[in-house]
């Protein structure tokens, strides 16, 4: 089997603009390293909470980067600004 490709997406306006450091992707990477025995590589994306950017990023990871799995993290809302709840597969 080829190396498992995993997309990790952290969705945060403040982290993506540099207000604070993202902790979601490092936490996911740590968990994956402890949970998987299969060799894997990750594609990381830290993006703002914008519906169009979220949709584009998910499509890029699956269609262009050929990720077998995409995990998302982020959002401490829900708040009016949070778009992640509106994204459909």
Say what the pTM is.
0.85
- CATH homologous superfamily of domain 4-86? MoaB/Mog-like domain (3.40.980.10)
pLDDT per residue over 35-78, tens digit each? 999 999 999 999 999 989 999 999 999 999 999 999 999 866 55
83 vs 65: CA distance, rounded Å = 24
Domain ranges of the chain: 4-86
Among candidate residues 76, 69, 81, 83, the one with its CA nearest the CA of residue 9: 69
DSSP codes, 42-73: EEEEEE-S-HHHHHHHHHIIIIIS--SEEEEE
Q: What is the DSSP letter of 74?
A: E
């Amino acid at each position: 089997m080829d190396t498992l490709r995993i997309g990790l997406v952290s969705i945060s306006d403040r982290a993506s603009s540099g207000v604070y450091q993202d902790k979601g992707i490092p936490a996911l990477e740590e968990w994956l390293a402890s949970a998987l025995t299969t060799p894997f590589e990750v594609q990381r994306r830290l993006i703002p909470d914008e519906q169009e950017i979220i949709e584009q990023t998910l499509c890029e990871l699956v269609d262009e980067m050929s990720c077998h799995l995409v995990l998302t993290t982020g959002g401490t809302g829900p708040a009016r600004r949070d778009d992640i709840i509106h994204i459909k597969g």
